[in-house]
Homo-oligomer: A and B are copies of this chain.
Amino acid sequence: MSQNVFKVSSKSQVNALAGAVAGGIREGKVELQAIGAGAVNQALKAIAVARGYVSPQGINLTCVPAFVDVVIDGEERTAMKLIIESVNH
């Protein structure tokens, strides 16, 4: 089972990201990483849109939010990660 990790910014396009989530979830788990409120917002919107993409295949997406420390330019920052899982019906 593979795990795709996508980094999300406040400028990430919701529909493109939703497509990547929908594609990735068919292969396994998907994780979105976001730093800052704008990025977190885009990530969450993308999951809501992706739910609509995969719902006709009987896939129900849920997400688990968690904190993760990441190092950017030598500085430690706290990012949110959203672990997306599919619950089949």
Contacts and interface: CB of A to CB of B under 8 A. Distances in A.
Copies in the complex: 2
Interface string A53-76: 000000011111111000000000
Instruction: Classify chain A's interface size.
Output: 20 to 34
A80 B37 CA distance: 14
A63 B47 CA distance: 11
Contacts of A40: 37, 40-41, 44
Most chain B beta carbons < 10 A, residue from A40, A51, A65: A65
Interface in A29-43: 36-38, 40-41
Interface of A: 10, 36-38, 40-41, 44-45, 47-48, 51, 60-67, 80, 82, 85
